[in-house]
């Protein structure tokens, strides 16, 4: 099986779903809508959406339902990137090879765009047709996403990330930040299709959570290594990077940590294979996510 065949299929599908959804919104000529489209449609690997589609396929969820979940996940991800790039947080002028939303449209519109994308995600989950999903399941899906991005998830992770600049951390504290900031949204990308399926087992949910943490933490460590290698001169004058994996334990130990997480993720997939689930796409996607070159 060729990884890029199915990856390109899912990526094209979510890009079309997002574009079609944005084109139904009123006030298409407003700066708000233009900035929302800009932040959500320029580039992006769509890895979270691919996780939704592939896990949904594994658990036999209708693809129309997976479309709604994938749209919501990508809207939340786009909102988080807009706010991360703001001058008051990471102050990044570029995103995905293009100028950041606040640089192109101004800080005020960037803040509003992020807010609007977040609320739009929950509108999609609460109103879109989701075949096979009862109202009870829909509420669980909405609850899962809201839990993973607020004060119990992504936002607290970002807050802890801001606080880390004032003190030195150990690896356990850094893992906690990465868990909230990065791994929780990835976990939702896996949990939400499962919650919309006809399967339910606490054991399976626990395995899904372990898998999510493995790829989420390794994803963040990999990003830290990329940043360390690409911006060495700048990083020497930036105290923030001293609380990243490469600076806490070094490049080689960071790579070793990624390898350990990768092997654990694959071992979890083997457990699913023994339960008669088809995992070949997930093995290829896991390899791509963890061992990507950027």
Domain CATH for 256: 1.10.600.10
The residues that bridge with 51 in the sheet, in sequence order, are none
Across the chain, mean pLDDT equals 92
- pLDDT tens across 100-131, in order? 999 999 999 999 999 999 999 999 999 999 99
Indicate if the pLDDT at residue 89 is higher than 90.
Answer: yes
**Gap between the Cα atoms of 147 and 157, Å rounded:** 12
Contact 32, 112 (CB under 8 A): yes
The whole-angstrom separation of Cα 259 and Cα 264 is: 9
> What residues contact 173, with CB distance under 8 A and at least 6 apart?
164
pLDDT tens digits for range 213-264? 999 999 999 988 887 776 654 544 454 556 789 988 899 999 999 999 999 9
What total number of domains does the chain contain? 1
How is residue 118 written in tokens?
A: 């977040």
**Those residues with Cβ within 8 angstroms of residue 25's Cβ, 6 or more apart along the chain or in another chain:** 33, 36
Q: Which domain holds residue 8?
A: 3-290
CA atoms 136, 140, 141, 143: torsion sign: positive
Residue given tokens 């079309």 in the structure block: 16
Nearest to 125 by CA among 64, 76, 68, 81: 68
Asked whether 130 and 64 are in contact (CB, 8 A), the reply is yes
């Amino acid at each position: 099986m060729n990884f890029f065949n199915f990856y390109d299929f899912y990526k094209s599908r979510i890009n079309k779903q997002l574009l079609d959804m944005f084109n139904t919104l009123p006030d298409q000529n407003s700066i708000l809508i233009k900035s929302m489209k800009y932040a959500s449609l320029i580039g992006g690997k769509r890895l979270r959406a691919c996780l939704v589609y592939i896990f949904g396929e594994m658990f036999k969820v209708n693809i129309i339902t997976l479309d709604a979940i994938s749209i919501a996940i990508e809207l939340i991800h786009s909102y988080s990137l807009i706010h991360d790039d703001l001058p008051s947080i990471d102050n990044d002028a570029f995103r995905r090879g293009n100028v950041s939303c606040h640089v192109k449209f101004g800080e005020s519109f960037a803040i509003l765009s992020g807010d609007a994308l977040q609320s739009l995600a929950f509108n999609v989950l609460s109103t879109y047709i989701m075949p096979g999903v009862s109202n009870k399941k829909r509420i669980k899906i909405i609850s899962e996403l809201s839990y993973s991005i607020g004060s119990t998830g992504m936002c607290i992770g970002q807050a802890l990330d801001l606080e880390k600049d004032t003190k030195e951390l150990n690896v356990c504290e850094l893992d906690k930040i990465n868990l909230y900031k990065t791994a929780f949204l990835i976990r939702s990308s896996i949990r939400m299709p499962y919650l919309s399926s006809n399967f339910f087992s606490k054991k399976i949910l626990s395995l899904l959570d372990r898998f999510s943490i493995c790829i989420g933490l390794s994803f963040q460590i990999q990003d830290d290594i990329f940043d360390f290698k690409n911006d060495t001169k700048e990083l020497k004058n930036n105290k923030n990077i001293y609380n990243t994996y490469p600076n806490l334990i070094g490049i080689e130990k960071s790579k070793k940590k990624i390898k350990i997480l990768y092997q654990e993720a694959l071992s979890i997939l083997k457990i699913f294979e023994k339960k008669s689930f088809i995992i070949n796409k997930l093995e290829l996607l896991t390899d791509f996510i963890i061992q990507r070159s950027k």
